[in-house]
Amino acid sequence: MTEIDAVTLAVLKGRLEQIADEMDATLYRSAFNPIIAEARDACHGLYHAETGSTLVQGTTGLPIFVGAMAFAVKAVIDKVARDAASGRDQLRPGDTFLFNDPYDGGTHLNDFRLVRPVFRGDAVFCWIASAGHWLDIGGNVPGGFNARATESYQEGVRIPPVKFIREGRLDEDIVDILSANSRAARSNYGDLNGQLNALALGERRLTELLDAYGDNTIAAACAALTRRAEALMRENLRAMPDGIYSFEDYLDNDGVTDTPLRIALDMTIAGETMTLDFSRSSPPCAGPLNIAYSTAVACCYVALKHLFTDVPANAGCLTPVQFIIPETTLLGVKAPKPVGGYTETILRVIGVVFGAIAKAAPERAIAAPFGTINALSLAGHRGDGSRWVMFSFFGGGLGATPGCDGLSHGNNPISMATMPPVEILEASYPVMFTQWALRPDSAGAGTHRGGLGAIYEIEILAESGAEAFLLGERGKFAPFGAGGGGPAALNRFVYDTPAGQQAPPLASKVVDVKIARGQRVRLETPGGGGYGQPEARDRAAVARDVRLGYVSRARARELYGYDAGESS
């Protein structure tokens, strides 16, 4: 193994990360879909030639994708091995694979993976990969978030790993099949080409780096970074007290039956190792709140990266961690169980990891974030008969910590994504936002309060109206506090009808709601949980919250014992 000095390693770490960052930026700038172009629901990385494990990820891509991508690349590696063994096909430079299978390294059907080998001579040096959320891939619901799906076939078209570029030649037949199964074929085609451009740039940049430093030096740098991540994770685990720490939280329902779903974790710390056992979680559900094993592991990776921020983001950080995720739970399902609402379930998994760590190491405690993306789709027809589909997710409050208040109107900890700007959404679709504001009294109380949620109100402008679909959570189980802090407000969704304003029977999930022109939908998102006893909060901080409208005077008296006559 080539020895590499610390300075060279630092330089190469930056160069490798820059490759992934440039791939991210290329896709963001060329995608047709606002969820990629503006919200950055995508990622890129470099992966091990034989195992598919993560070598390098970008700093702006979606971490949950990066965590799952190692499984995706391994699925392609396995396919290549099967094809070679059977004599069916051989891997060659210029080949590229495409798929969205959520049970084989994917997340849900909207998320398309492109995986390409980078050859040096006759051997694969590593793999590069791109993931992006396509706007619509068929199924019963425009945008793909079908809250009532009971099997994956109702969520969209499922594509296994297929070689759709052979030695640089695109198979147009596969593209035609994808286009025929989407309400937004033009948008998907633009995103596909954006991802291909990102892969081309990544391959070119990596080749330049290999030519400059040599294959052995770059391979040694990747191996050293992986060993460093493992060593730092083991060091962090050794600093925590041994023991078994349990925590559980609940999902409102599965969209089909109004019964809570338990996400339960028993975390064992033993020296420099950790075991995450989810065996006590609810069994697979009828609706789309299930996730596959690879997705469950990926969201644990994201949670641990939030807690152990000094550990480099590669496969080494998971080496000391064992996962117990039985197929008998909703966290390890196989096809064709529906998984379209995976975003809600992984947020609850991240939350219970936070909750268990708070028991083991209170100094690292993070109260629960708002814990729902509120996947809202609005769809209809324009005056010329063309189809429009608006999909977006929405922000809320993040949890407080021992050192500070939570962030208001942020995104969930699964991602670096941001909401598409209101100007982009209004320019792209026949809608108007009549309110976009912080939500008063939505944060959990505490010595440090949680961040505030938000209020979004959207009016339909299309002459023929629209259909509304929502797949959300936290309508019944509020984001929890930590260290004595209080819970945040519940999620709330209402919509106009001829009979007045109504809320969904299942709290935050609804399908096929007809919204006429001039009518509105209104979403009020949760805040984050608080940290520490509320009565210990600094009086000046309470006064400031009241003055800015974050907390009403009545709630300030109730939660903090604050007298409106106190000096601010």
What mean pLDDT is predicted for residues 64-92? 92
Residue 565: predicted pLDDT: 63
Rounded to the nearest 10 degrees, what angle do helices 553-560 and 539-548 cross at? 160
CA atoms within 13 A on the CB side of 311: 27
pLDDT at 39: 84
Q: From CA 152, how far away is CA 534, in angstroms rounded?
A: 45
How are strands ordered across the β-sheet holding 273-277?
243-251, 261-270, 273-277, 321-324
Q: CA–CA separation, 348 vs 302, rounded Å? A: 12
The reported pTM is 0.94
Partners of 380 in the β-ladder: 388
* Predicted confidence (pLDDT) at residue 415 exceeds the cutoff of 70: no
Q: Write down the pLDDT at residue 196.
A: 98
Dump pLDDT digits (tens) for 14-45.
999 999 999 999 999 999 999 899 888 899 99
Tens-digit pLDDT profile for residues 423-460:
999 999 999 999 999 999 999 999 999 999 999 999 99
pLDDT at residue number 416: 63
Task: Assign 115 to helix, strand or coil.
Answer: strand
- Quick check: helix, strand or coil at residue 93? coil
Residue spans of alpha helices (H) in 51-184: 63-86, 172-180
What angle is formed at CA 423 by the lines to CA 432 and CA 40, rounded to 5 degrees? Answer: 120
Evaluate if residue 84 carries a pLDDT over 50.
yes
Mean pLDDT of the chain: 94
Categorize the per-residue pLDDT at 564 as very low, low, confident or very high, splitting at 50, 70 and 90: low
Distance CA 16, CA 13 (A): 5
Q: What pLDDT, on the 0 to 100 scale, is given for residue 568?
A: 46
162: left (phi over 0), alpha (psi -120 to 50) or beta: beta
In whole angstroms, give the CA distance from residue 146 to residue 338.
Answer: 9
How far apart, in whole angstroms, are the C-alpha atoms of residue 521 and residue 563? 36
Q: Identify the residue with better confidence: 139 or 61.
A: 139
**What are the pLDDT digits (tens) for 489-511?**
999 999 999 999 999 999 999 99
Nearest alpha-carbon partner for 295 in 41, 72, 51: 72
Q: Calculate what percentage of the chain has a pLDDT beyond 90.
A: 90
- Cα separation, 332 vs 310, in Å, equals 29
CA distance 458 to 151: 31
- For the segment 146-171, the average pLDDT, to the nearest whole number, is 96
Amino acid at 541: A
User: Tell me: the pLDDT tens digits for 205-245?
Assistant: 999 999 999 999 999 999 999 999 999 999 999 999 999 99
Q: Say how far apart CA 561 and CA 547 lie, in whole Å.
A: 16
Give the residue among 137, 129, 143 at the shortest CA–CA distance from 159: 137
Element (H, E) at 362: none
Q: 123 with 50: CB under 8 angstroms?
A: no
CA distance 26 to 58: 12
Measured in whole angstroms, how far is the alpha carbon of residue 565 from the centre of its chain? 44
